[in-house]
């Protein structure tokens, strides 16, 4: 009986180790760019992405910006979260109009991930980047902070998860932003050159 218990325990331990290893997030090669021209210049020098991928990723980031950028009920609250001069009205940033009384951070760059290792291959959906109040950058969902909006790094594929839509939703007030602990208050990462 003792031998069987040891075998069962080792089997359970082995299964647990396999499960933990299987839960590790896939890492992808990612690169951040302050603008489309920077991506195009990197592509011309044999970077991670082609000029066509730069165009596609930038268009996707702009679309996500319109759909999912954080929205605030005042310019003051937006600037508390993203820094002075880094916000504008929804009306100024959304081509089909928008409210002049809702404020959004300005697009400060975009992030692209190389998902070639995934089934189906291809590039990951890009993410818009915004300045945060600490002088760094964050993604649309505010889940990851970056020290720069330019550079290359390995990062989890979850960084490219589609953020929740904010267009048409009630904008955040000072109290809402404070209850969330501020926008972009979680994990931080840096890019290498």
What does the pLDDT look like over 139-192, one tens digit per residue?
888 888 899 999 998 888 888 888 899 999 999 999 988 887 665 544 455 555
Q: Which residues pair with 28 in a beta bridge?
A: 155
Q: How far apart are CA 148 and CA 49, in angstroms?
A: 19
Question: What are the Cα distances from residue 53, in Å, to 7, 13, 28, 158, 178?
Answer: 52, 44, 16, 20, 37
Confidence (pLDDT) at 8: 40
Which carries the bigger pLDDT value, residue 26 or residue 82?
82
Confidence (pLDDT) at 96: 75
Res. 38 pLDDT band, cuts 50 70 90: very high
Confidence (pLDDT) at 142: 84
Tell me if the pTM is above 0.85: no
Q: Which of 15-19, 33-37, 141-145, 150-154 is least confident?
A: 15-19
Decide if 39 contacts 48 (C-beta within 8 A): no
Confidence (pLDDT) at 193: 46
Domain spans in the chain, listed from the N-terminal domain onward: 26-189
In the predicted structure, residue 22 carries a pLDDT above the cut 70: no
Q: What is the pLDDT of residues 63-115, one digit of tens each?
A: 999 999 999 999 999 999 999 999 999 999 988 777 889 999 999 999 998 86
Confidence (pLDDT) at 173: 94
């Amino acid at each position: 009986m003792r031998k069987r218990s040891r075998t069962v325990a080792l089997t359970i331990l082995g299964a647990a180790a396999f499960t933990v290893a299987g839960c590790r997030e896939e890492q992808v090669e990612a690169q951040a760019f302050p603008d489309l021209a920077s991506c195009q210049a990197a592509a011309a020098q044999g970077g991670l992405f082609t000029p066509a991928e730069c165009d596609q990723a930038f268009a996707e980031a702009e679309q996500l910006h319109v759909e999912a950028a954080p929205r605030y009920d005042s310019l003051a609250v937006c600037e508390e979260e993203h820094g002075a001069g880094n916000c504008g009205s929804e009306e100024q940033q959304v081509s089909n109009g928008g409210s002049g009384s809702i404020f959004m951070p300005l697009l400060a760059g975009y992030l692209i991930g190389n998902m070639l290792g995934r089934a189906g291959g291809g590039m990951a959906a890009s993410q818009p980047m915004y300045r945060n109040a600490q002088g760094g950058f964050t993604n649309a969902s505010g889940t990851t902070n970056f020290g720069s909006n330019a550079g290359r790094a390995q990062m989890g594929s979850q960084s490219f998860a589609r953020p929740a839509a904010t267009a048409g939703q009630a904008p955040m007030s000072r109290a809402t932003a404070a209850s969330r602990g501020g926008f972009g208050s979680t994990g931080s990462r840096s890019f290498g050159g």
